């Protein structure tokens, strides 16, 4: 069982409420998202009426406590929502769930006034939010952030440039990281702080949209802070300890990216299986050839392994188990790489049809590649897993 100590560590804890919720999300996806897939691919935009439908259904409040305007629900519900939406339109899942990169750190580290002022409108769908951390020279290396926050009489003044910020063009609020003290080579993580920035603050500029290969409809933007005055009360968490705020946020969000990858992998499996049983070659279904049948079987095995790892990480997070940090990195790495592999195999099984944009097959590969990069590139996750393992050993966990 090493490094875990008990078979009960491997529960996933799903119940009938989770299944009923999954069915409702599946219905929304089939009714609202499936018809617009190719429109979104063509226009690179998600229709506002579909976003409004999601808000009216309460999807912006899933996983947010009711006392802050949310619908309640646990991490497993968020995972189910991410998976089901990403099976159909991953970019829509990204747009919807990136709100949690703003909300979650406020729930954990924010003041009651911050939660009332900023979490409630996001939870109720009256506002959208984004997380502005990544910079041209700092992505997975959070400690390398160079945006600065200088103390002023009324608060802080932010200057810097953020890159690849999802939801930036739609967001009303940002949680932004900035350096409030000079970097120390021995403790690089110290000296960062996090702030709530409203789009309406003077000096906030939404820059160019990055033309990334996937996630059509929700591609990221540059965000520029030019002498942005931020009130003192918009500091999130303790001064100079914003690194903790950012990495804690990612501990949870990695699970949602794993779920997004599971959804993409599910779509790939369904497309590959259906095509292999319907398409004929040499007067036989493709699936009758062992080379194809073996691939389909392998895809199913890896899909279900990814799903179980993701549900497991979500259950550990819901149970407030410290092992969830490691589990979220395991799930994110395995699931996203599985999705990329399965998308590639699905293209090959389709042959020429697989590279035709009109079939909708090749977009799975474009979307899956991105999941291996954002929320911490997978090699960073491997380092996280190993370092978590060392910490577990240092606490003298029983090896059995």
148 token code pair: 């600065």
Nearest alpha-carbon partner for 249 in 260, 240, 257, 239 = 257
Look at the chain and count its residues. Answer: 400
Cα(253)–Cα(263) distance, integer angstroms: 15
DSSP secondary structure letters along 4-54: ---GGGG-----HHHHHHHHHHHHHIIIIIGGGHHHHHHHS---HHHHHHH
CA distances from 165 to 129, 132, 176, 208, 225 (A): 11, 6, 10, 11, 13
375 labelled catalytic: yes
DSSP 131-159: EE--BTTBSS-GGG---EEEE-SSEEEEE
CA distance 88 to 108: 31
Contact 230, 304 (CB under 8 A): no
Separation CA 61–CA 107 (nearest Å): 13
Residue 223: φ, ψ to 5°:
-125, 130
Q: How far is it, in rounded angstroms, from Cα 167 to Cα 175?
A: 12
What is the secondary structure of 321-384 as a DSSP string? -TTHHHHHHHHHHHHHHHHHHHHHHHHHHHGGGGG-GGGT-HHHHHHHHHHTTTTS-HHHHHHH
Active-site entry in 135, 302, 340, 375: 375
- Name the one residue in this structure whose structure tokens are 């291996």: 372
Please report where in the chains the tokens 């919720």 appear, as a residue. Answer: 21
Gap between the Cα atoms of 231 and 196, Å rounded:
9
Tell me how far apart the alpha carbons of residues 160 and 157 are, in angstroms, rounded to a whole number: 10
Helix (H) / strand (E) element for 122: namely helix 120-123
Scan for tokens 């996630």, then name that residue: 215
Active site residues: 375
């Amino acid at each position: 069982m090493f490094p875990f100590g008990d078979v009960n560590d491997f529960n996933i804890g799903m119940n009938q409420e989770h299944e009923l919720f999954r069915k409702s999300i599946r219905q929304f996806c089939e009714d609202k998202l499936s018809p617009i897939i190719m429109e979104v691919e063509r226009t690179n935009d998600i229709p506002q009426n579909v976003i409004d439908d999601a808000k009216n259904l309460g999807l912006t409040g899933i996983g947010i406590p009711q006392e802050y305007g949310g619908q309640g629900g646990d991490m497993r519900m968020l995972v189910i929502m991410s998976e089901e939406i990403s099976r159909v339109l991953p970019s829509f899942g990204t747009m919807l769930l990136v709100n949690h990169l703003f909300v979650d750190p406020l729930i954990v580290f924010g003041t009651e006034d911050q939660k009332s002022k900023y979490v409630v409108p996001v939870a109720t769908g009256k506002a959208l939010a984004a997380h502005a951390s990544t910079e041209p020279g700092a992505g997975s290396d959070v400690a390398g952030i160079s945006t600065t926050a200088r103390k002023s009489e009324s608060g802080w003044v932010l200057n810097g440039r953020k890159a690849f910020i999802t939801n930036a063009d739609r967001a009303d609020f940002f949680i932004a990281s900035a350096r409030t003290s000079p970097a120390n080579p021995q403790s690089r993580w110290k000296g960062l702080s996090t702030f709530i920035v409203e789009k309406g603050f003077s000096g906030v500029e939404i820059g160019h949209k990055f033309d990334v290969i996937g996630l059509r409809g929700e591609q990221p933007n540059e965000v520029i802070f030019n002498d942005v005055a931020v009130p003192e009360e918009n500091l999130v968490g303790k001064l100079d300890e914003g690194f903790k705020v950012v990495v804690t946020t990612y501990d949870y969000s990695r699970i949602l990216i794993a779920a997004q990858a599971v959804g993409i992998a599910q779509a790939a499996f369904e497309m590959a299986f259906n095509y292999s049983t319907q398409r004929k070659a040499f007067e036989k279904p493709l699936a009758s050839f062992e080379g194809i049948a073996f691939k389909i079987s392998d895809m199913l095995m890896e899909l279900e392994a990814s799903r179980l790892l993701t549900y497991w990480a979500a259950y550990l997070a819901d149970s407030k188990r410290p092992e969830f940090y490691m589990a979220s990195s395991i799930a994110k790495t395995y699931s996203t790489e599985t999705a990329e592999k399965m998308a590639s195999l699905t293209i090959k099984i389709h042959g020429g049809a697989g590279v035709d944009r009109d079939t909708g097959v090749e977009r799975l590969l474009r979307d899956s590649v991105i999941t291996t990069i954002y929320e911490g590139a997978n090699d960073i996750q491997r380092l996280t897993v190993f370092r978590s393992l060392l910490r577990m050993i240092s606490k003298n966990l029983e090896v059995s």
